[in-house]
Homo-oligomer: A and B are copies of this chain.
Amino acid sequence: MDIKQYMKEVGQRARKASRAMAKADTAAKNKALSLIAAAIHRDADILRAANQKDLDAARASGLAPALLDRLTLSDKAITTMAEGLEQIVALPDPIGEISNMKYRPTGIQVGQMRVPLGVIGIIYEARPNVTVDAAGLCIKSGNATILRGGSEAIHCNQALAKIVSEGLAGAGLPADAVQIVETTDRAAVGELITMPEYVDVIVPRGGKGLIERLMKESKVPMIKHLDGICHVYIDSSADLKKAVDISFNAKCHRYGTCNTMETLLVARSIAPTVLPELAKLYATQEVELRADDEARAILQGYPHLTAVTEQDWSEEYLAPILAVKVVENMDEAIEHINNYSSQHTDSIVTEDYTRAMRFLREVDSASVMINASTRFADGFEYGLGAEIGISNDKLHARGPVGLDGLTSLKYVVFGHGEIRT
């Protein structure tokens, strides 16, 4: 197989399909999504069998249990995939919306129309549900997409690809609007990220290693998520109950998510009050506290207490471990956050209005919160309806990326024969 030629043909088909998708009406896009959802239920046995093939091969090659878990397509996962599509059907169609239409002194009327980006390349791990979620979001936003899932999921992805293509065709849309890369050769990724003539944006979903490789090699703009080093700062004027609830939830609700708190900053004046209360809760979950000298003095006797090092401030633990630092005041907290945060999500707990407003403005992260758990930073909680990922970038889309993040705004001008003089 000539990978370069194969990917070029995939790209050309995607570009062609993207033009038809850009003008597809809402009813056709929704019909395709519903047909796909119905077929997922109908073909559940076929999907399970394909997934079994992938699982057998993955077990034989010794895939790690956590990855096997993500690869597994349970009955619940099948239902969730289909429900996810119906939720996308229920979302308003972003495409074609015209906003800010204003008359200019010359007589022309100028506004902006929301349009698809074109062709979106998505690179992700061996998680079959991502195949359906991503396809659904791209269809609804009028884009064509090229999906490159982890090679371990190839059989299941091929079965899903068939369902998706049939759904598109059944709604009168081009079957090529969603293509799944049919080869597990890694060279295909190298091609996908260097075809700006066929691919408008790459959305990578995967580990830091993958993202860093893509950042080096990609010639196509990316909407990417690197890591989540999130902070909670407990201000001197914090409400004690809110501080404890939020800091416990932000760390312990789930350890493996990117919006989990990794570093806790506490104002000096409140540290002796709040840290012992928090320690009682963290102890129930055996959370290791990596604390600075001052915090360790307060936390003396906590069973999982260690000394923090400079590296800890830049660590995404994804585990029951928390770095703890005592700071003089909010200025020191903001300074620490702007130095070490991955600009994902940072939260302040305070009852002080002026400091709350300053924190909101001065912390340079995709999500900045007052008196709320960092765990709220996701597309569903924000009301986007669905998300394709979370962006750490500043350009184009920042934070959780929903349907709008897969679109662009073009200027539209309504004239009456005006010329420029």
Contact = CB atoms under 8 A, between A and B. Distances in A.
What is the copy number of this chain in the assembly? 2
Contact of A410 (B113, B200, B370, B398): B398
B253 A420 contact: yes
Most chain B beta-carbon neighbours within 10 Å: one of A96, A108, A118: A108
Interface of A: 19, 22-23, 96, 102, 104, 106, 108, 110, 113, 115, 117-118, 200-201, 221, 239, 241-242, 245-246, 248-250, 253, 338, 347, 358, 360-362, 364-373, 375-377, 381-383, 393-396, 398-400, 408-421
A325 B229 CA distance: 57
Nearest to A378: B420
Given A371-B415, A420-B373, A395 B23 contact: no
Nearest to A409: B398
Contact of A413 (B245, B368, B413, B415): B368
Contacts of A19: 338, 364
Contact of A245 (B96, B409, B417): B417
Contacts of A413: 347, 367-370, 372, 376-377
Given A19-B364, A110-B383, 16 more contacts: A104-B382, A108-B369, A110-B381, A110-B382, A201-B395, A241-B417, A249-B420, A365-B410, A367-B410, A369-B412, A371-B417, A372-B413, A372-B418, A375-B419, A375-B420, A398-B410
A356 to B, nearest CB: 8
Contacts of A338: 19
